[in-house]
């Protein structure tokens, strides 16, 4: 039987509940327990797949093809274990299940209500991962802030579970903010008191209070919070701002968050935390020996959360290379032929990001042309790979109108086209090519050197593909199609052998990068950027590649 830890948040959003939950999970895992984390989101969308990245940041995709909240990315990056559809549940999905059951007549003529029917379905899903003996501990993060109307059924479900489960099988951690008033030179506990009061009014009593704070919490302050919020003083945990999210597990260990949880849950079988690999990574991260500038070309660059997994993959890959990766955000809409050198000339590598739709497309193509012609290391992900194909078709194959049918359905040369089975689909949610697919890698290719394997598995999220009618033309002109889906033959990787590092992938390698297993393609890309940076001073253009009018 698994034990359950619930993590709620108060005072304000964006306190980093996901990071605290992931850090606690990491510590428990490091002590030898089998842990998983799940996230319950109070919005009505059935999943975040249809949400604009400006609304909710990146959509994270799991192996089984679920489109999920970006916090699942943190869970995987910290724990190094895969999550699935079951790890992310929204209000929309709960209601969809209950309404479908109602239509099937499953409620036998009863009035279907929030309590008990919605809360029963929430509880069923909260307990699901804990069944079957796979995990010792299931951590559940409740999205939103206590007091929100929409999170009420989730808090009510936690209340019922706190009452139904044996005392030692259930624990609630409440994350709050202790603001520092500069004028008064004081940390203020009142918002935390109010937040705990709200939670108590909803029937849930927290066992542990984690306090986000800019300044250290004194013993007196901890006592005060403990007294007013009715928890033990040692259960008031300081979560000070950290220079990197990867420091947080160690900060939580110093505060004994894991031990307090284990005591309350009456878990006696655990060992000292094994965090050797984690600490090694942190050391490399904190003391890099070199640095590179990598341009991230995208259209959501104002919002960092839109590219969360890519940015984190650079952190992992940078540490592996003992190199600080400075990501320079470049808005694809602002890039033109005439300013390409000014905007890209100082970079050591160029990453063209995933994306959807027309906006900023030409800027991405211009950036890729610049990288191809000057020998600047290039890495294209999903839409970035598709744009590399279009750029090559236009400027090397001499097909000036080449395009993707996503942006130009009438194009003369649809080098990127929609898959046949995708053409029949009219619904938006969950209908892309999603989740993990195998990819067979051509021997002696750059991809083979990167992965050191002939068969890999990576995650996908797209509708369009390389159009196989153009295979011969591309290969003849020097673009190597070095990765294919072994069953369907779909092209997964393209590369240019004459270039120091030029690779585009149809899949999303950033989604599988973790602290303990960084994505190999990011590691090699950063390595190539490092080599490029070291070679600077000499000519940046690469022999055998046509010089552009851009430089």
Smallest gap from Cβ 329 to ligand GLN, in A, equals: 17
**What is the spatial distance between Cα 139 and Cα 110, in angstroms, rounded to a whole number?**
33
**What is the spatial distance between Cα 146 and Cα 159, in angstroms, rounded to a whole number?**
13
3-state helix vs strand vs coil in the chain, percent to 5: 40, 20, 35
**What is the spatial distance between Cα 510 and Cα 518, in angstroms, rounded to a whole number?**
9
Residue with smaller CB distance to ligand GLN, 24 or 381: 381
- Residue 524 in contact with ligand GLN, rule: CB under 6 A: no
Of the candidates 202, 233, 207, the one whose C-alpha atom is nearest the C-alpha of residue 220 is 233
Applying CB under 6 A, the span of 348-356, 467-475, 480-488, 532-540 interacting with ligand GLN comes to 348-356
Applying CB under 6 A, the span of 44-52, 72-80, 259-267, 352-360 interacting with ligand GLN comes to 352-360
Would you say 468 and 503 are in contact if contact means Cβ atoms under 8 Å apart?
A: no
- Residue 354 in contact with ligand GLN, rule: CB under 6 A: yes
Quick one: tokens of 237?
Answer: 């945990």
**What is the spatial distance between Cα 425 and Cα 408, in angstroms, rounded to a whole number?**
19
Quick one: tokens of 184?
Answer: 């008064």
- Residue 387 in contact with ligand GLN, rule: CB under 6 A: no
Residue with smaller CB distance to ligand GLN, 78 or 464: 464
Residue with smaller CB distance to ligand GLN, 367 or 382: 382
* Residues that are catalytic: 382, 508, 510
Quick one: tokens of 446?
Answer: 């750059």
- Residue 390 in contact with ligand GLN, rule: CB under 6 A: no
Residue with smaller CB distance to ligand GLN, 505 or 523: 505
Quick one: tokens of 366?
Answer: 């211009």
Quick one: tokens of 232?
Answer: 């033990």
- Residue 461 in contact with ligand GLN, rule: CB under 6 A: yes
Q: What spatial distance separates the first Cα and last Cα of the chain, rounded to whole Å?
A: 65
**Of the candidate residues 74, 324, 394, 462, the single one contacting ligand GLN (CB under 6 A):** 462
Binding footprint of ligand GLN, residue count (CB under 6 A) = 10
Q: H/E element holding 175? A: strand 170-178
Q: Is the peptide bond before 75 cis (omega within 30 degrees of 0)?
A: no
- Residue 50 in contact with ligand GLN, rule: CB under 6 A: no
**Of the candidate residues 98, 217, 347, 382, the single one contacting ligand GLN (CB under 6 A):** 382
Question: Phi then psi for 269, rounded to 5 degrees?
Answer: -100, 95
- Residue 509 in contact with ligand GLN, rule: CB under 6 A: no
Would you say 58 and 305 are in contact if contact means Cβ atoms under 8 Å apart?
A: yes
Smallest gap from Cβ 422 to ligand GLN, in A, equals: 9
158-187: contacts with ligand GLN (CB under 6 A): none
Smallest gap from Cβ 14 to ligand GLN, in A, equals: 25
Quick one: tokens of 392?
Answer: 């090559």
Residue with smaller CB distance to ligand GLN, 258 or 406: 406
Cβ atoms < 10 Å from Cβ of 247 = 16
**Of the candidate residues 251, 463, 545, 548, the single one contacting ligand GLN (CB under 6 A):** 463
Of the candidates 250, 275, 223, 25, the one whose C-alpha atom is nearest the C-alpha of residue 135 is 25
> Which residues are within 8 A (CB) of 503 and not within 5 positions of it... i.e. 6 or more apart?
378, 379, 380, 446, 447, 450, 493, 494, 495, 521, 525
Residue with smaller CB distance to ligand GLN, 349 or 355: 355
**Of the candidate residues 4, 135, 314, 464, the single one contacting ligand GLN (CB under 6 A):** 464
- Residue 459 in contact with ligand GLN, rule: CB under 6 A: no
Residue with smaller CB distance to ligand GLN, 383 or 521: 383
Residue with smaller CB distance to ligand GLN, 130 or 295: 295
Quick one: tokens of 431?
Answer: 């209908």
- Each residue 408-447 as x (binds ligand GLN by CB under 6 A) or -, in order, gives ----------------------------------------
- Residue 356 in contact with ligand GLN, rule: CB under 6 A: yes
Applying CB under 6 A, the span of 292-300, 349-357, 362-370, 534-542 interacting with ligand GLN comes to 349-357
Quick one: tokens of 162?
Answer: 């706190």
Applying CB under 6 A, the span of 174-182, 351-359, 480-488, 533-541 interacting with ligand GLN comes to 351-359
Quick one: tokens of 1?
Answer: 């039987």
Strand partners, 90: 41
Environment class of 120 (CB within 10 Å of its CB; exposed 0-12, middle 13-18, buried 19+): middle
Applying CB under 6 A, the span of 19-27, 155-163, 321-329, 353-361 interacting with ligand GLN comes to 353-361
237-266: contacts with ligand GLN (CB under 6 A): none
Question: Phi then psi for 296, rounded to 5 degrees?
Answer: -105, 110
Would you say 464 and 341 are in contact if contact means Cβ atoms under 8 Å apart?
A: no
Would you say 499 and 102 are in contact if contact means Cβ atoms under 8 Å apart?
A: no
- Residue 355 in contact with ligand GLN, rule: CB under 6 A: yes
Would you say 77 and 58 are in contact if contact means Cβ atoms under 8 Å apart?
A: no
Residue with smaller CB distance to ligand GLN, 2 or 383: 383
Applying CB under 6 A, the span of 49-57, 185-193, 200-208, 460-468 interacting with ligand GLN comes to 460-468
Say whether 51 sits in a helix, a strand or coil. coil
Cβ atoms < 10 Å from Cβ of 111 = 6
- Residue 406 in contact with ligand GLN, rule: CB under 6 A: yes
Smallest gap from Cβ 465 to ligand GLN, in A, equals: 7
Smallest gap from Cβ 427 to ligand GLN, in A, equals: 15
Q: What angle do CA 255, 181, 15 make, to 5 degrees?
A: 45
Residue with smaller CB distance to ligand GLN, 386 or 445: 386
- Each residue 307-346 as x (binds ligand GLN by CB under 6 A) or -, in order, gives ----------------------------------------
Judged by the rule CB under 6 A, the positions of this chain that interact with ligand GLN are: 354-356, 382-383, 406, 461-464
């Amino acid at each position: 039987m698994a034990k359950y830890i619930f993590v709620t948040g108060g005072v304000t959003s964006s306190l980093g509940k996901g990071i605290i939950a992931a850090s606690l999970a990491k510590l428990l895992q490091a002590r030898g327990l089998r842990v998983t984390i799940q996230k319950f989101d109070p919005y009505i969308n059935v999943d975040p797949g249809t949400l604009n990245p400006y609304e909710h940041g990146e959509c994270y995709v799991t192996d089984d093809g679920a489109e999920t909240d970006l916090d699942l990315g943190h869970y995987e990056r910290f724990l190094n274990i895969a999550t699935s559809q079951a790890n992310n549940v929204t209000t929309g999905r709960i209601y969809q299940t209950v309404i479908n059951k109602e239509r099937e007549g499953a409620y036998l003529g009863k009035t279907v209500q929030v309590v008990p029917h919605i809360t029963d379905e929430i509880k069923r899903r909260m307990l699901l991962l804990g069944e079957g003996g796979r995990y010792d501990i299931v951590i559940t993060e409740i999205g939103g802030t206590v007091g929100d109307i929409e999170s009420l059924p989730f808090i009510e479900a936690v209340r019922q579970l706190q009452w139904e489960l044996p005392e030692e099988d259930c624990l609630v951690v409440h994350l709050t903010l202790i603001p520092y008033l500069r004028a008064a030179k004081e940390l203020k506990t009142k918002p935390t008191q109010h937040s705990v009061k709200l939670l108590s009014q909803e029937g849930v009593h927290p066992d542990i209070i984690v306090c986000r704070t800019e300044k250290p919490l004194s013993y007196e302050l901890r006592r005060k919070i403990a007294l007013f919020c009715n928890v033990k003083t040692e259960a008031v945990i300081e979560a000070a701002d950290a220079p990197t999210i990867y420091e947080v597990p160690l900060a939580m260990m110093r505060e004994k968050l894991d031990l307090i949880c284990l005591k309350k849950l009456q878990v006696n079988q655990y060992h000292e935390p094994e965090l050797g690999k984690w600490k090694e990574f942190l050391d490399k991260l904190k003391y890099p020996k070199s640095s590179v500038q990598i341009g991230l070309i995208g259209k959501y660059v104002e919002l960092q959360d839109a590219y969360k997994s890519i940015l984190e993959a650079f952190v992992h890959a940078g540490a592996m290379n003992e190199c600080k990766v400075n990501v320079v955000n470049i808005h694809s809409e602002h890039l033109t032929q005439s300013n390409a050198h000014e905007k890209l000339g100082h970079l050591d590598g160029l990453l063209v990001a995933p994306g959807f739709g027309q906006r900023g497309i030409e800027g991405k193509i211009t950036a890729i042309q610049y990288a191809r012609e000057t020998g600047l290391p290039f890495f294209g992900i999903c839409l970035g790979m598709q744009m590399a194909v279009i750029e090559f078709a236009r400027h090397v194959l001499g097909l000036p109108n080449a395009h993707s049918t996503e942006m130009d359905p009438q194009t003369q040369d649809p080098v990127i086209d929609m898959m046949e089975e995708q053409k029949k689909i009219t619904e938006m949610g969950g209908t892309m090519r999603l989740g993990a697919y195998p990819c067979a890698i051509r021997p002696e290719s750059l991809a083979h050197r990167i992965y050191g394997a002939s068969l890999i598995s990576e995650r996908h999220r797209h509708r369009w593909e390389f159009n196989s009618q153009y295979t011969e033309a591309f290969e003849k002109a020097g673009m190597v199609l070095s990765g294919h889906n072994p069953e369907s033959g779909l092209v997964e990787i393209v590369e240019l052998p004459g270039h120091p590092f030029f690779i585009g992938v149809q899949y999303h390698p950033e989604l599988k990068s973790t602290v303990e297993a960084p994505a190999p393609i990011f590691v090699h890309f950063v390595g190539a950027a490092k080599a490029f940076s070291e070679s600077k001073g000499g000519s940046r253009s690469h022999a055998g590649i046509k010089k552009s009018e851009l430089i």
